[in-house]
Structure 1
Amino acid sequence: MAARRPRPTPQPALQAFGRQMRRYREQANLLQQAVASRTNTTTSFVSQVETGKKRCQRSFAATVDQLTGAGGALLDLYDDLNRDGSPVPLWFDWPEVEQEAVTLTTYQHSMIPGLLQTPEYAGASLRSEEKSAARMARQQILTRDSPAPTSLVALVDEQVLHRPVGSPEVMRAQLEHLIAMGERPNVTVQVVRSSGEHNGNGGAFVVATMEDRSEVAYMEMTIRAITTDSTDDLAALALTLIDLRSRALPADMSRDFVRRVIEDRWT
């Protein structure tokens, strides 16, 4: 029995598939636009698959294999890279995704969203100067001039406003910062009232919408976070967002609600 080859790490696996896909496409004298048309995707998506920046579904690989005349070789490679039943390409460089996103929509049930944290709040929660500094650096996407600042929609559970992180002074400053950021034209902060069971109880997440309207989700787990662009995962998160938004206060009422929490809880 032949020795089993070690499974490649995600980035090389994506790049290996992309290189072969491009080789077969060019041998068939096909443009990326033609592949996009036949697979009902976009030229940008095809380009990202070929450069190893984005994963594709098996149906996409099968169509491209047939279209380029690869004779099953491209589909075999896809299956080989996914042979353990857990697709290798479920990997994204989330900081890069975050930087390139046009819109970020997040739900947080236990902490203030990282992009809206003050240095003191981040320091108290992370307990690491290095991690805190990295989190602060990420926030520039909301205030940069070029490219245009990212739009952020932050759905924050009511309990987050009452949960102490650091001192009362840290919490008061954090909630005042939350109000100030929510007044920016590209930032929307909405408070989700605590009302028992709802779909958001499954955990915090962020959905990034890219320039080509594709989406990538980041979901926080106890041990590690995972990223995915699975259509099933994104569909489930879309339903969760519909539920959460139906329970959330409008932006102006949310700011008033946060002000009352500051007065009643942290002053």
Structure 2
Amino acid sequence: MTRCSPTARHRRLMAELNRLRCDSGLSRAEVAALIGSTDTTLWRYETGLTRPKPSDVAALTSVYGVDGEERESLLQMAKEARRRGWWHRHRRALKPGFDSYIGLEAEASAVRVYEPLVVPGLTQTEAYARAVIEAVAPACSPAEIDEKVAVRASRQRLLHGPGDPIHLVAVLDEAVLWRQVGGREVMREQLEHLVRLGALPNVELRVIPFSAGAHAAMDGKFCLLRLPEAADPDLVYLERATRGLVSDDPEEARRYTRMFDDLTALALDEQASTARIARAAEEMT
């Protein structure tokens, strides 16, 4: 894995600083006094509100008795966490919370997504993406729409590299195939693009047919992120009209994982799903 995200490194560093202090048996106030800081500053480090400087992390490792490779790893994490990802310059154009998601997605090894209404952003064509954005953000200027489309296109490089491409499993409600976003020609192009993507070894597309009836995820889309480090928990991303939220609550991750497994069981297999997508594309001709 050669992809590196400041957001993911910051989250990992935050977790390690929490763990080390808890293992030390020291309170935040005691640690802060030893490094000449305040317990509020330490709290901000441990909750992710502030990204500590490498020198701050070096002081903390001395207090916690960390040396050798572990110390060097933490210092490297601190350096990487303070860099700016490519998405940082687009923060004003993004829904609140979505920049955090993009930062984590950039280092994820796998993404599992359920979409009931639209094609997932990682698999959208430019024309389809533009039609979606124009519909959900009608107040945006043409320049703002162009920027949002560009962000979506940049994210899609994850499917093809550089480094190990991300593994995508997308479960789509059949309604996604028939909703004419942008008109028939745009939809045909989009559906044919899905067929091509489905042939990639790191992309799995599954369709839940109308005949499957009601299911547990009918109240909305969700996404599960898996990061490459074994110690990192799976994350859940939930998106609403005004903002997105990344949750690392283990119970919530387990609940959505069970839901995703249930959806996969309801869906057509990969071959039948590809055939259903291709048939919908033909209908758009």
TM-score by length of 1: 0.70
Q: CA deviation at 1:202?
A: 2.6
CA distance in 1, matches of 2:132, 2:244: 17
Aligned to 1:138: 155
Q: CA deviation at 1:129?
A: 1.5
Would you say the 8 A contact 1:119–1:132 is kept in 2? yes
Identify which of 175, 182, 205 aligns with 1:159: 175
Any stretches of 5+ residues in structure 2 without a counterpart?
1-39, 82-96, 135-144
User: Offset of 1:155 from its aligned partner?
Assistant: 0.7
Partners of 1:116 and 1:178 within 8 A in 2: yes
Question: What whole-Å deviation, never above 9, does each CA across 1:44-90 have from its counterpart, x for those lacking one?
Answer: 8x88997896xxxxxxxxxxxxxxxxxxxxxxxxxxxxxxxxxxxx9
> What is residue 246 of structure 1 aligned with on the other side?
265
1:191 corresponds to which residue? 207
* Contact 2:222 2:238 (C-alpha < 8 Å) held by counterparts: yes
Tell me the equivalent position of 1:256: 275
> What does residue 65 of structure 2 align with?
29
The aligned amino acid for 1:30 is V
In the alignment, does 2:122 pair up with 1:122?
Answer: no
Q: CA deviation at 1:117?
A: 0.5
Q: For the structure 1 residues 28 and 132, does the alpha-carbon distance in structure 2 shift closer, same or farther, using more than 3 Å as the test? A: closer
Please give the per-residue CA displacement for 1:195-245, whole angstroms capped at 9, x wherever unaligned: 332121131121111111332221111221111111121011111111101
Q: How many residues of Structure 1 are paired with residues of Structure 2 in the alignment? A: 216
Superposed CA deviations along residues 80-131 of structure 1, whole A, max 9, x for unmatched, are xxxxxxxxxx997221211111111111111000010011000111121211
* Correspondence for 2:101: 94
8 Å CA contact 1:103, 1:152 repeated in 2: yes
Question: Is residue 106 from structure 1 mapped to residue 113 from structure 2 by the alignment?
Answer: yes
1:166-207 CA-partner distances (Å, limit 9, x unpaired)? 110000110000011000111111111233321211311211
Q: Structure 1 residue aligned with 2:193, among 177, 183, 191? A: 177
The change in CA–CA distance for 1:106 and 1:19 in structure 2 (over 3 A counts) is farther
CA contact (8 A) 2:173 2:209 kept: yes
CA distance, structure 2, for counterparts of residue 32 and residue 201 of structure 1? 50
The code of the aligned residue for 1:242 comes to: D
Paired residues of 1:152 and 1:187 also in contact (CA < 8 A): yes
For residue 140 of structure 1, report the CA deviation from its aligned partner.
Answer: 0.6
- Which SS does the other structure have where 2:106 is aligned? helix
Question: Aligned in 2, Cα 1:105/1:162: closer, same or farther, shift over 3 Å?
Answer: same
Q: Look up the SS of the partner of 1:235 in the other structure.
A: helix
Contact 1:105 1:206 in 2 (8 A): yes
The residue aligned with 2:236 is 217
CA distance in 1, matches of 2:192, 2:279: 11
Match of 1:147 in 2: 163
Partner letter of residue 188 of structure 1? E
Task: Give the counterpart letter for 2:245 in structure 1.
Answer: I
Deviation at 1:258, TM superposition (A): 1.0
Gaps in structure 1 of 5+ consecutive residues: 36-42, 54-89
